Copies of this chain bind each other. A is one copy, B any other.
Amino acid sequence: MSHPASGGVERRQDLVRSAAAVFARRGYERARVAEIAKQAHVATGTFYLYFPSKEACFLDLVAQLYDLVLTRVAHARQGEPDILRKLEASITAVLQTFQDERDLAAIVLLQGSGSLPLMAERLRTAEDNLAALLAQDLKEASDAGLMSSGDASLRAHLVIGAMREALLYRLRRQDEPAAQDAEVREFLMRALR
């Protein structure tokens, strides 16, 4: 049983971290379970004590990132006074969360949805959820006369696309991030006027 509080939980965290790193580096198909296990300093079989399959592990990782994004976005909006600030705060929260989770971000941004049919579905759903959130803000803002009107859903997706690209831009260049956040935010807020 090892230590009640650590034990399996720690082992699992090692594996999660290792899996994220390997998937980020190699992509889903090229990632080897043996490599994930090795990098977590466990035997191959141990991987299967914590995940039912390579695929499930991969999907878990993605779910984990999106849970985090949605939580952070929800939290960031709470303190803001008006809809425009909420929108800005949401954008910043998304950028920041991906920034904080390099490996998970790389998986989502680079692997795209090409790897696995189920992954494609999940990613699309996650993105649509986020888009729906943003679209509601856009509609509210345009109803209040704070923004031009238009296809809110399409616009929300354009915002997400631009954000995705900003994150990739960084990821590939390994730039210091914060400097650009402001420019991205302004770009998007201008686009939405």
Residues of A whose CB lies within 8 Å of any CB of B are 27-29, 109-115, 120, 124, 150-151, 154-155, 157-166, 168-169, 172, 180, 183-184, 186-188, 190-193
Contact = CB atoms under 8 A, between A and B. Distances in A.
A110 B113 contact: yes
Contacts of A161: 161-166, 168
Contacts of A150: 183, 186-187
A154 B183 contact: yes
Contacts of A115: 27, 29, 114-115
Contacts of A110: 112-114, 120
10 contacts: A27-B114, A110-B120, A150-B183, A150-B187, A157-B169, A158-B187, A161-B166, A162-B165, A162-B191, A187-B191
A166 to B, nearest CB: 6
Contacts of A168: 157, 161
Contact of A172 (B111, B124, B172): B124
A139 B186 CA distance: 17
Contacts of A112: 109-114
Contacts of A186: 150
A70 to B, nearest CB: 19
B172 A165 contact: no
A187 B154 CA distance: 10
Contacts of A191: 162, 187-188, 190-191
Contacts of A183: 150-151, 154-155
A182 to B, nearest CB: 10
Given A29-B115, A110-B120, A162 B172 contact: no
A188 B158 CA distance: 9
